[in-house]
Amino acid sequence: MLQGEDQDMPRQLNLAIVGHVDSGKSTLCGRLLHALGRISKKQMHKNEKEAKEKGKGSFAYAWAMDDSADERARGITMNVGVAYFDTKNYQVVMLDSPGHKDFVPNMISGVTQADAAVLVVDASLGSFESGMGVNGVGQTKEHSQLIRSFGVENLIVAVNKMDSVEYSAERFNYVKSQLGIFLRSCGYKESAITWVPLSAMENENLVTAASDTRLSSWFHGTCLLEAIDSSAPPPRDVSRPLRLPICDVISSHVLGQVAVCGKVVCGAIGSDSKVKL
């Protein structure tokens, strides 16, 4: 805690959303933002209308994050989308990362800023196996390794699309068993992994406890929002010299200004700080 900092002010948590392509990351982000009142009714209506017009009605929530013409035309996330919401303990910066293998460099730019991560896994038959690379190269494993290599120790595994398997406890436990073995081999501690079965499309177990009896009858853990709020970000030593790896540079020819973006790894920086790059 810095001198003069308001101890009652929620801390910032940079949260990377990662996972295999088509696991439902952007839809999950959009659903979460909508449930928390971060998307207006007007914007949601606009997304629904435009998605239906293009024959992609199920993409309405995903388009809250995938707002470029290319992303909407291809139906995949290509760049890191950024959104914000508050929990009881945190001001969350949500970083929706691309899942397609062609955009791993873009995904890395988001992960380098992360304090914690949500690994989204598709529970549906065949899709989970595809993400694990059973029939090829899956991004579930690659993303898990990448986020761990960048120092993310706290991981929430969102087992999505549980509605496609009738909220089966057997399927959830299978996913947890198979993926858990791999995550532990990457260096994750079992105590630092939170498993959350959910359905982003049906808004099940996202911001409130499961209401569908097919899930609530056997799962008594936390919903996704509670899991995020319980995340423990890595401690930062403010007594050491400032270290801020730069991940992006934004310049304005109109204003004649340059802005740099990065993550404070140690040390501290304030609004009046003078820093030499």
Residue 113 lies in a domain: yes
pLDDT of 135 reads: 60
Do 119 and 30 share a structural domain?
yes
Res. 255 pLDDT band, cuts 50 70 90: low
What does the radius of gyration of the chain's CA atoms come to, in whole angstroms?
A: 19
E-strand ranges in 191-254 read 193-197, 246-252
**Interatomic CA distance for residues 129 and 224, integer angstroms:** 23
Q: Which domain holds residue 260?
A: 236-277
Structural domains of the chain, count: 2
Residue 219 and residue 275 in one domain: no
* 187 and 256 fall within a common domain: no
Inside any domain, residue 4:
no
Pair 68, 163 in one domain: yes
- Does residue 85 share a domain with residue 194? yes
Q: Which helix (H) or strand (E) holds 48?
A: helix 41-53
- Asked if residue 2 belongs to a domain, the reply is no
Among residues 193, 213, 229, the one where a domain terminates is 229
Q: Output the pLDDT for position 49.
A: 77
Q: Does residue 107 sit in the same domain as residue 151?
A: yes
159 and 197 Cβ atoms separated by less than 8 Å: yes
More confident of the two residues 14 and 173: 173
In which band, very low, low, confident or very high, does the pLDDT at 223 lie, cut at 50, 70 and 90? very high
Question: pLDDT tens-digit profile of 182-215?
Answer: 999 999 999 999 999 999 999 999 999 999 999 9
29-39 tens-digit pLDDT: 989 998 999 88
Please tell me whether the overall predicted TM-score, pTM, comes out greater than 0.95 for this model: no
103: domain CATH number? Answer: 3.40.50.300
Residue with tokens 């929002």: 225
Residues 178 and 52 grouped into a single domain: yes
Residue 1 lies in a domain: no
Are residue 16 and residue 105 in the same domain, yes or no?
A: yes
The string of pLDDT tens digits covering residues 70-106 is 555 555 555 677 889 999 999 998 888 765 565 566 6
pLDDT at res. 78: 58
pLDDT of res. 156: 97
- Which domain-ending residue is among 193, 214, 229? 229
17 against 253, higher pLDDT: 17
| Pick from 63, 97, 72, 68: nearest CA to 82 | 97
Q: Which tokens belong to 210?
A: 């499961």
- 222 and 253 fall within a common domain: no
**Can you give the pLDDT at residue 146?**
86
Predicted confidence (pLDDT) at residue 153 exceeds the cutoff of 70: yes
- Are both 155 and 259 inside the same structural domain? no
Both 222 and 247 in one domain: the answer is: no
Residue 124 lies in a domain: yes
Calculate what percentage of the chain has a pLDDT beyond 70: 79
Given this model, what pLDDT does residue 57 score? 61
224 exposure class (CB count in 10 Å sphere: 0-12, 13-18, 19+): buried
- Number of residues that this document lists for the chain: 277
Same domain, 148 and 105: yes
